Amino acid sequence: MHVFLGITGASGAPYAARLLQGFAAAGAQVGVCASASAGEVIAWEIYRDRTIPPEQAVERFVTEYGGEGATLYGERDWFAPYASGSAKVDSYVICPCSMATCGTIASSSQANLIHRAASVALKERRPLILVPREMPLSVLHLRALTTLTEAGAMVAPASPGFYTHPESVADMVDFVAGRVLDLCGIDHALLQRWGSA
Ligand SMILES: Cc1cc2nc3c(=O)[nH]c(=O)nc-3n(C[C@H](O)[C@H](O)[C@H](O)COP(=O)(O)O)c2cc1C
């Protein structure tokens, strides 16, 4: 299994951490690209230290959570496999996905490798899973999400369910990460499935 994970500057870095762990546990090959804003959010939400330079935060994050199967690519690395449809990639995930990145992909702009990878996924008709986080949503956000869905992306909002009776924030993070792993076809035991004992 070969997956691309784009991490952007929406709140929700713990979801990306859990996803990286899930990919590693499944032995997946993962190409990671994080925006500069993602580095700021990771520094704040994971390490609770705004003074960590964004690039340093991202490198530390991918090393700690991604394991040996994860490779980090720069935002402007157009020589990365994810910049072309000729590279074989099973699924593309952007988690968390900022509304800025949603809007950019919906407009077909490609300012960084994350936008480019998403564009490649859509043109090649491959799974593209977007995990947006914002509230409330403006009509501009809703239009962008509709456009992306019409183009073939799956919009999987970071909205944990409560029917599994989560007992901790970690349980709620696992719920969202587990559903995203489901969409990638990756086995995991992060959530209790409805109807199971
Ligand atoms: C701590 C923090 C939390 C943020 N949370 C969100 C969010 O939940 N959703 C969002 O769309 N933008 C959020 N932003 C703003 C984005 O980081 C900003 O729009 C940025 O330009 C996104 O760029 P990117 O898509 O290239 O990462 C947040 C920023 C910070 C610093």
pTM: 0.97
Give CA torsion, residues 96, 100, 102, 106, to 10 deg.
-160
Distance 94 CA to ligand 1 centre (A): 13
Angle at 143 (CA atoms; ends 124, 122), nearest 5 degrees: 5
pLDDT of residue 196: 83
**pLDDT string in tens for the chain (197-residue length):** 999 999 999 999 999 999 999 999 999 999 999 999 999 999 999 999 999 999 999 999 999 999 999 999 999 999 999 999 999 999 999 999 999 999 999 999 999 999 999 999 999 999 999 999 999 999 999 999 999 999 999 999 999 999 999 999 999 999 999 999 999 999 999 998 998 86
Residues with CB under 6 A from ligand 1: 8-11, 35, 37-38, 40-41, 44, 98-101, 133-134
How high is the pLDDT of residue 192?
87
Task: Write down the pLDDT at residue 153.
Answer: 98
If one counts every other C-beta atom within 10 angstroms of the C-beta of residue 46, the result is 18
Give the Å distance between the CA of 137 and the centre of ligand 1: 14
Question: What H or E segment, with its residue span, contains residue 130?
Answer: strand 128-132
Query: Ligand 1 centre from 40 Cα, in Å?
Result: 9
Closest Cα to atom 16 of ligand 1: 9
> What structural domains and CATH numbers belong to the chain?
2-184 (3.40.50.1950)
